[in-house]
Amino acid sequence: MLLVAAACSQAGHEEADTVSIIPQPRYVQMDEGTFRIDKDTKIFLDEPVEEYMRIAGFLNERLLAAAGFSLEITDEMTADGNVIFFMNAGLPSEAYGIHVEPNRIVIDYGDGAGAFYALQTIFQLLPEEIFADSRQRGVKWEIPCLAMEDAPRFKYRGMHLDVCLHYFDVDFLKKYIDIMALHKVNRFHWHLTEDQGWRLEIKKYPLLTEKGQWRKETVVGSLNSGVYDGTPYGGYYSQEQVRDLVQYAAERYVTIIPEIELPGHALAAIACYPELSCGLEDHYETATKWGVFKQVYCPKETTFEFLEDVFDEVFELFPSEVVHIGGDECPKASWKACPHCQALIRKLGLKDEYELQSWFVTRMEKYINSKGREIIGWDEILQGGLAPNAKVMSWLGEEGGIQAARQHHEVVMAPHQKYYLDYWQADPDSEPLAMGGPTTLKTMYEYEPVPEVLTPEEARYIIGVEGCVWTEYMDSPERVEYMAWPRMCAIAETGWTQTGKDWDGFTRRLETHLGRLDRLDVGYCKAFFNPLIVFHNDTKYSKVVTMTVDAPDAEIRYTLDGSVPDASSPVYDKPFVINRQQTVTAAAFRNGKIIGEIRTKHF
């Protein structure tokens, strides 16, 4: 690249003094002027091979939809300007640099992931209309002049989806992956097997999907309601669909990590092939409510044969180096009552059922390692001893992650108190049914995934973070999007951004970013614009009230008599006390106008 750097011209351009990128890049230096993409702009590819053609194609796809033109792709160096250069600058994987000048953009990368992430940032530097799927008239497709250097903090930036408690079709999964990729999230943890349904076609065991996809009905409301809907529920993914999705994800630099649960959460498989169980019951049925079930795999040779066969097909479908073997919530009741299991414990000289579980997982790890793959499992795989090469996904809290890191095993942090997206994100009094929490956007944003108690040497084993979407109470794509976004933006930023937390900066960028999610038709939760009213227990006759709102530069105005607050209502500025006759009605205001919804909370 020997082009002479031209000074950025300011003529006729409003300089954007800030940009709003999520996740926040490592280094941004704003300059004056803008680069405008028009129909004569060219894309220069340093490496005009399929991978980079595809990345350039993503830019053209958006431009064609929103701007009505696409750009010529060339591998001929030109000095004329009005070019977006993609240059292999030998950067580390996933890293990129962007230099925007009035007559050119230079994107530096070291691999396709870096070039792809640069493009995701370019999209966020353009007007939000670039995310529209229809022609936007009168938009100037301008990018502010700047210099940017960016690289991820963690190599593992994950988002999970449970498709067992509820099933989601492949089109939705593609959209899910698209939105992940926009946030530079690079691992899709696909939770495919459960007590309530088996969703992955396995050719050698056709019953797993013919039968195991089904449950005869589903609990209504919370898991203990005792009320069932009487409607069979099923759904599965054919191997052809899986291959298609794996490729779709790979083209967006997302690795799919399949999860095949063992030894617990196996009831759907056992309902198809009862010989996989300890055989203590006459009849096994796919679960119809949520929770943990005592019917687990029995560690018999035939069970291992089955699991090895399943993983053989999994390896054919998923190129991921790492597969998730579950390992969580495996009750020991069946193993305690099973003569085979008890004899095995004695024969192997094991102390108890926890050591049997460890032996089970280690045996599976040996097989999986022999096929050139590695395992990751939930915290409970620490019980009875960690398998020699296992990675741990820490969900119970941080303790498992800390223990594993101290044993020099890699760890992904997904503590449920901070990173479970099935928890309430706003006041449960006014939100749909959820699993726990509340876990607000701010709580998620502020979570620091490297525990302070780790030494720097141990801290290196924390390889990343993951947001988990368990779908007990999400029976539609709309519900998933509502629960996942924008909180997942916070997790994505923690996974990517090197610099410390900046809640105020995040909320400012997020407000702009929500406009992009609107264009992308992501049905995120809008609690960001609403007051969160919290009643703190005081006396029998009184509550202490605090209120917060995430949206920046907003004030909360409220009433205590049930009337709708307006621009003349009192502004909340400190905690106050209410009595039993009072109801708090509040809204967030900017410039005298309500920006979100009116929230009411009754004593």
Catalog residues that contact Zn ion under the rule CB under 5 A.
Answer: 278, 298, 338, 340-341
Q: Which is nearer to ligand ACM, 32 or 328 (CB)?
A: 328
237 SS3 class: strand
8 A C-beta contact, residue 197 and residue 213: yes
Name the residue with the smallest CB distance to ligand ACM.
328
The minimum distance between CB 385 and ligand ACM, in angstroms, equals: 19
Restricted to residues 316-355, the positions that interact with ligand ACM (CB under 6 A) are 328-329
Residue 445 interacting partner from ligand ACM, Zn ion, none (CB closer than 5 to 8 Å by kind): none
Question: What 8-state DSSP symbol labels residue 233?
Answer: B
**Hey, which residues does 98 pair with through a beta bridge?**
107, 148
Residue 378 interacting partner from Zn ion, ligand ACM, none (CB closer than 5 to 8 Å by kind): ligand ACM
CA distance 521 to 523: 6
Q: Which is nearer to ligand ACM, 345 or 376 (CB)?
A: 376
The minimum distance between CB 168 and ligand ACM, in angstroms, equals: 18
Is 395 an interacting residue with respect to ligand ACM (CB under 6 A)? Answer: yes
Residue 572 interacting partner from Zn ion, ligand ACM, none (CB closer than 5 to 8 Å by kind): none
Restricted to residues 26-55, the positions that interact with ligand ACM (CB under 6 A) are none
The minimum distance between CB 205 and Zn ion, in angstroms, equals: 20
Nearest alpha-carbon partner for 365 in 349, 354, 356, 376: 376
Is 190 an interacting residue with respect to ligand ACM (CB under 6 A)? Answer: no
Q: Which is nearer to ligand ACM, 311 or 395 (CB)?
A: 395
Q: Which is nearer to Zn ion, 19 or 278 (CB)?
A: 278
- What secondary structure does DSSP assign to 524-568, as a single string? ---GGGS-EEEEEEEETTEEEEEEE--STT-EEEEESBSPPP-TT
Residue 338 interacting partner from ligand ACM, Zn ion, none (CB closer than 5 to 8 Å by kind): Zn ion
The minimum distance between CB 340 and Zn ion, in angstroms, equals: 5
How many other C-beta atoms can be found within 10 angstroms of the C-beta atom of residue 547?
A: 19
36 CB-contact burial (10 Å; exposed 0-12 / middle 13-18 / buried 19+): middle
Q: Which is nearer to Zn ion, 334 or 582 (CB)?
A: 334
- What secondary structure does DSSP assign to 116-167, as a single string? HHHHHHHHHHS-GGGG-SS--TT---EEEEEEEEE--S-SEEEEEEE-SSS-
Residue 386 interacting partner from ligand ACM, Zn ion, none (CB closer than 5 to 8 Å by kind): none
The minimum distance between CB 414 and ligand ACM, in angstroms, equals: 8
Q: Which is nearer to ligand ACM, 311 or 378 (CB)?
A: 378
Q: Which is nearer to ligand ACM, 309 or 329 (CB)?
A: 329
The minimum distance between CB 51 and Zn ion, in angstroms, equals: 49
* Residue 224, token pair as written in the block: 């203990």
Pair type for strands 532-539 and 542-548: antiparallel
287 to each of 92, 187, 266, 323, how far by Cα in Å? Answer: 47, 28, 10, 24
Q: Across the beta sheet with 576-579, what order do the strands follow? A: 532-539, 542-548, 576-579
The minimum distance between CB 135 and ligand ACM, in angstroms, equals: 44
**With CB under 6 A, what is the number of residues at the site for ligand ACM?**
4
Residue 395 interacting partner from Zn ion, ligand ACM, none (CB closer than 5 to 8 Å by kind): ligand ACM
The minimum distance between CB 325 and ligand ACM, in angstroms, equals: 12
Is 251 an interacting residue with respect to ligand ACM (CB under 6 A)? Answer: no
CA distance 332 to 274: 18
How many other C-beta atoms can be found within 10 angstroms of the C-beta atom of residue 241?
A: 15
**Hey, which residues does 375 pair with through a beta bridge?**
323
Candidates 378, 424, 445, 529: give the one binding ligand ACM (CB under 6 A): 378
The residue assigned the tokens 């799927």 is 133
Q: Which is nearer to ligand ACM, 128 or 194 (CB)?
A: 194
The minimum distance between CB 80 and ligand ACM, in angstroms, equals: 56
The minimum distance between CB 466 and ligand ACM, in angstroms, equals: 11
8 A C-beta contact, residue 21 and residue 125: yes
**Hey, which residues does 393 pair with through a beta bridge?**
378, 412
Q: Which is nearer to ligand ACM, 255 or 471 (CB)?
A: 471
Q: Which is nearer to ligand ACM, 112 or 415 (CB)?
A: 415
| Residues in touch with ligand ACM (CB under 6 A) | 328-329, 378, 395
